Structure 1
Amino acid sequence: MMTSSQRDPAMMRDSATPTRNPFSRRRAAPAAPGLISSLQAYGGLQAWAARAHRPLQSLGRIGSLEVRLAQTAAEVRQAQKLRYRVFYQEGTAIPNPGRLFARRDVDGYDAICDHLLVLDHAAREGTPGNRPAVVGTYRLLRQALAEDHGGFYTAGEFDISGLIERHRNLQFLELGRSCVLAPYRNKRTVELLWHGIHAYITQNRCDVMIGCASLDGTEPKRLALPLSFLHHYARAPEEWRAQALPERYVEMNRISKESIDPKEALRQLPPLVKGYLRLGAYIGDGAVVDHEFGTTDVLIVLPVSVIKQRYIEHFDLGRRAA
């Protein structure tokens, strides 16, 4: 994957020029639902590796933990194995035949994304080639690459075409497939992941982060309190709003604002969603039930411009992560 900090010239063209809009498609070209397409996705990592030559650059380190981008296809496979363990073995996701066969969470997007890794240099035992263990990961997809390869993953659940069109002068970055190994689910690991994201958006001049964030469970009635809280307290203003696809739309406004206990609602929210809210993220209109992963998803929209300065300074860990 290229990591050039230059904006894609195609994004700077005159708005009157007719352009294709891949962001209204439902997980088009890259999606890999079946065994054959999953195996093709594995092969795509070889092409990814050929494009991924870059100087090894650590984005931050605290003790034995380091955050950086994956450099090789083997490191991406480590991330896929971690995702499989967290999503399918610990969680309630149901693997398709390709993922079950490979024991890895893989789809076609892996071959076009950058993969942010947290590695533990003190946990090498048992890893192939004595590599550091991958204990945390995030998948990052820049807009220029999404345009060239059929659109964002998020477009399979939310109609983000209007959102991107309203902000055609800005560069979007999709965050996805976030997970951390259970013993490492602590403040230090999360800080390293967010430091890596901060460094990435700075290097690549990204302006807006988007992605699907998940609440456990596929019965919205049981999630009425957290969904309603997000609707009333964090719903995106019109400028930044996008809706769930009509055929997948799940109403979030299930309890009146007056009847909500905010403390209890926050307690029920996943840590990742609460972390996004602390940074200033907005929530889209409507949720989507993802039966494959056993979750109910909401849309996260986080313009870099709204992140509070104290968090920008906090995630600038250059002097703290040594």
Structure 2
Amino acid sequence: MATADVLNKGRYLARQAQSPQDIAAAQELRTLAFATKQTDSDVFDEMCDHILVEDTRYGGCLVCCFRMLTMHEGTEITNSYSAQYYDLTALQNFRGRMVEMGRFCIHPEWTDPDIIRVAWGAMTTFVDQNDVQLLFGCSSFEGIETDEYLDAFAMLKQKHLAPKRWLPRVKAPDVFRFAARLRRLPDAKKAMLRMPPLLRTYLMMGGWVSDHAVVDRHMNTLHVFTGLEIGAIPPTRKRLLRAVSG
């Protein structure tokens, strides 16, 4: 990880995993947060850098984690976790370093919004110091029933679909084609209340999504492919992120 390993903001410390024990702790938190019956781990864990956010007031308790898979350009995107679920052929033409951010989770007993700010601060440091041009991943809605998220999906259709040149195509066998199926106008308040916090942050920075959601029955989630072109982040948002990471 070619960046500072530590970001300390207030009570929270963000650092890179340094040992198998650190990665095991991240897997344990993911298992708790995602409520999986078996330990949440896969082959991508060995390929990624892992970031841990700890609460220093509670003896360094792990409260948030995520992992990052770095690619030099779009030709490597077929090796990503997301490529299992989305046809990312269009993004193979992307020129520039890319990072897939995955398995983001926050301890269910911690609700402090500063946690996600510190996590994004750590990510911003990595992006800045490694000249990353595209951040992407899968943003998950809890559960596989679409009805309670219709306003959120309508909002995604109305304002946040990927540019046609990067638009992921359908690959997974079970998907909800919200862009094609929904005709409703979104209730903005309901849409944002039902939008996952991670996805909400992506969107505030100018992120975009696929035109369909994958129904992941194994993880009991609906997820959309999410991309964020670093060069398109509004200057005011960049300043806020760098204020956290600086």
TM, length-normalised to structure 1: 0.70
1:76 matched residue in structure 2: 23
Contact 1:226–1:265 (CA under 8 A) maintained in structure 2: yes
2:66 matched residue in structure 1: 138
Q: In structure 1, give the amino acid aligned to 2:44.
A: Y
Contact 1:215–1:269 (CA under 8 A) maintained in structure 2: yes
Please tell me whether residue 57 in structure 1 is matched to residue 57 in structure 2: no
2:131 matched residue in structure 1: 205
Can you list the C-alpha shifts for 1:138-170, whole angstroms capped at 9, x where unaligned? 1111114997897000001111122122x1x21
Give distance in 1, aligned partners of 2:203 and 2:232: 11
Within 5 Å, give how 1:275-314 maps onto structure 2. 275-314=201-240
Give distance in 2, aligned partners of 1:112 and 1:153: 11
Can you list the C-alpha shifts for 1:218-266, whole angstroms capped at 9, x where unaligned? 1234433222221122111212321231634321133325x32222222
Change in 2 beyond 3 A, CA 1:146/1:112: farther
- Which of 64, 77, 84 aligns to 1:156? It is 84
- Which of 42, 57, 68 aligns to 1:107? It is 42
Give distance in 2, aligned partners of 1:274 and 1:318: 18
Q: In structure 1, give the amino acid aligned to 2:33.
A: V
TM, length-normalised to structure 2: 0.90
Determine which structure has the larger strand proportion and give its number: 2
Give distance in 2, aligned partners of 1:178 and 1:231: 24
Give distance in 2, aligned partners of 1:4 and 1:269: 32
Contact 1:146–1:152 (CA under 8 A) maintained in structure 2: no
Contact 2:118–2:244 (CA under 8 A) maintained in structure 1: no
2:197 matched residue in structure 1: 271
State the identity %.
24
Helix, strand or coil for the counterpart of 2:131? coil
Can you list the C-alpha shifts for 1:56-91, whole angstroms capped at 9, x where unaligned? 831x21223111211111111111111111111xxx
What 5-or-longer segments of structure 2 have no aligned partner?
Answer: none
Larger Rg: 1
Please tell me whether residue 236 in structure 1 is matched to residue 162 in structure 2: yes
Give distance in 1, aligned partners of 2:76 and 2:170: 23
Can you list the C-alpha shifts for 1:281-307, whole angstroms capped at 9, x where unaligned? 011121100001111111101000111
Contact 2:216–2:222 (CA under 8 A) maintained in structure 1: yes
Can you list the C-alpha shifts for 1:100-157, whole angstroms capped at 9, x where unaligned? 3xxx311111111000111122323xxxxxxx32211111111149978970000011
Give distance in 2, aligned partners of 1:283 and 1:188: 25
Please tell me whether residue 179 in structure 1 is matched to residue 105 in structure 2: yes
1:256 matched residue in structure 2: 183
Q: In structure 2, give the amino acid aligned to 1:256.
A: R
What 5-or-longer segments of structure 1 have no aligned partner?
Answer: 6-55, 125-131
1:191 matched residue in structure 2: 117
Contact 2:77–2:83 (CA under 8 A) maintained in structure 1: no
Contact 2:2–2:126 (CA under 8 A) maintained in structure 1: no
Q: In structure 2, give the amino acid aligned to 1:194.
A: W
Q: In structure 2, give the amino acid aligned to 1:73.
A: P
